[in-house]
Amino acid sequence: MSTTVARPAPTQGATKKALAMILGIPVVIGLMLWAFLAPTFASGPDGVPVAVAGPGPVVEKLIAQAEQQEEHPDFITVSSPEEAETMVRDREAVGAIAIGEGGATVYTASGNGAPYVQMLSGVAQNMEASGMPVETKDLAPTTKDDPQAQGLALLGLPLAFGGVISGILPTLLLRGKKWSKAAVIAGVAMIGAGVAVWMLHGVYGTLSGSVFMEWLAVTLGIAATSSVTAGLGALMGMPGAGLGAVLTIFVANPLSGLATGV
């Protein structure tokens, strides 16, 4: 005896889909806002490492005054001005303060982000107000054409988008042709990096270092994004590639710190 399975009416299926979209899309919007806004509101001087070198009593007084503020850096006491400067150059600290007999030197790194430079400039002003001569040295300056490094802040999204596209399209159009996929990923990464470096270095003046090293860094970044997206696509099909796109654009890009200082 055969039985028939009752199917939901088309209108019921449409209603469920509509409700899912009505409730799901606002959640997605909220998650996107969180991903893009959280780094901005969470960034700042609180807890960032700053190296300090100088006589013990003077350093202790400086730290005590700074810690009276609600938000203050995490001071790391070092033995010499050279060690303090090295920590900034090695990105172990966002800045440094070296206090000597004739005054103090404040080491900044504009490439780390404007908020940290402003914080250290405030410290320098307070020291000058107390009568101490202060010299400021920028160990990683931005360029005169782009002093706020706006180009770097805006670089992330286009590169993330380009990396995602060069991972999705081979997954969709070159199924089963792994070497062709690899060629697309490598080719887009190298040529796309060339375009980005040409614009940031030659057109807008954001970058001023070694063109080859800049190109290599951007190439590896695009290739990494593409490889993750294409790899997830190879494992899970288009849903996997879509997951790679979401992780890159809505998680990795806003949390990278490019726009807030790293």
Residue of 240 and 4 predicted with greater confidence: 240
Count other Cβ atoms within 10 Å, centred on residue 152. Answer: 18
Q: What is the mean pLDDT of the chain?
A: 82
Contacts 24+ apart (CB under 8 A), 21-27: none
Whether pLDDT at 114 is above 80: no
Q: What is the pLDDT of residue 38?
A: 66
| Digit-coded pLDDT (tens) for 22-38 | 888 888 777 777 776 66
Helices 150-173 and 178-197 cross at an angle (nearest 10°) of 160
Distances (CA, A) of 121 to 134, 135, 167, 174: 10, 10, 43, 54
Q: What is the pLDDT of residue 141?
A: 83
259 pLDDT tier (thresholds 50, 70, 90): low
187 pLDDT tier (thresholds 50, 70, 90): very high
First to last CA, the chain: 70
Average pLDDT over residues 215-222: 91
Give pTM, 2 decimals.
0.70
Q: Is 53 helix (H, G, I), strand (E, B) or coil?
A: strand
39 pLDDT tier (thresholds 50, 70, 90): low
Judge contact between 111 and 142, C-beta under 8 A. yes
Domain ranges, ordered by start, for the chain: 49-138, 150-256
Q: What is the pLDDT of residue 2?
A: 53
| Digit-coded pLDDT (tens) for 133-152 | 888 898 888 888 877 777 77
Whether pLDDT at 212 is above 90: yes
Q: Is 81 helix (H, G, I), strand (E, B) or coil?
A: helix
